[in-house]
Amino acid sequence: MSRAGSVVAAIALGSVVAVSAPAQASVPADGSDGGCGKWTSSVVTTGAGMLENLEFDGSGSMVLSQSALIGPGALLKVAPDGTRTTLVGDVTGPGGLVARDGSVYFTTGNSTVSGLFGIADGSLRKVDVADGSVTTIADGLVMPNGLVPLDGNRFLTARTLTRPGLRSSTVTEPVRSFVRISAPSTASHAPVRRST
């Protein structure tokens, strides 16, 4: 099994694997290092369920988005010693994670059903790492899969099923909006419902 395949398999089985260098690793038949260099891996945590994404929270811990086949998932926090706690429970289809300024931004609604049927049950939220408070930034998104910070207070999410594309969500007051970007047509603007 390839190195990348080993890491993917470990993540799919609910383990987080740390990869580092240098050490002896499997070597291709030609004796080369395969272009990757030498590396080692060690288990950081196990038994975390189906994991979608991971991000360091800026305070020394790692946050994992845990999905479930049936029912809600959660955002889990893994301390440097491996201790695992729930940061945010009851999260439907958790996806992308971005840590910024003492908060972790995350997406919800990242499910196959939402993507296949165009169900706009997804959102962009943030959790304050210090006190656990959760704020909805934007909602009405369809299967926001992945999350990337852009300049200032904008974020980009991807939709992967039925009508693939990218969406840019902007954190503003009092109006919240997003931009749908899909090729080859031009971007279209649509309002996002404001949560109270």
Q: Where are the alpha helices (DSSP H) in 31-168?
A: 112-117
One-letter amino acid of 178: F
CB 161 within 8 A of CB 143: yes
Nearest one of 78, 156, 138, 73 to 110, comparing CA atoms: 73
Nearest one of 10, 7, 9 to 20, comparing CA atoms: 7
Nearest one of 119, 56, 57 to 92, comparing CA atoms: 119
Reported as type and span, the H/E element at residue 6 is helix 3-12
∠ CA 78-140-176, nearest 5°, is 90
| Mean pLDDT of the 117-146 span | 91
Share of the chain above pLDDT 90, in %: 31
At 92, the pLDDT band (50, 70, 90 cuts) reads very high
CATH fit for domain 49-191, picks 2.120.10.30, 2.40.30.170, 3.20.20.120, 2.20.25.90: 2.120.10.30
At 9, the pLDDT band (50, 70, 90 cuts) reads very low
Pairing of strands 134-141, 165-170: unpaired
pTM of the prediction?
A: 0.69
- CA distance between the termini of the chain: 49
| C-alpha distance from residue 158 to each of 8, 44, 90, 107 (Å) | 20, 28, 22, 11
CB 189 within 8 A of CB 169: no
**Can you give the pLDDT at residue 114?**
87
**Can you give the pLDDT at residue 188?**
37
pLDDT at 149 over 60: yes
Residue linked to tokens 């999905």: 67
**Can you give the pLDDT at residue 31?**
59
Domain boundary assignment for the chain = 1-47, 49-191
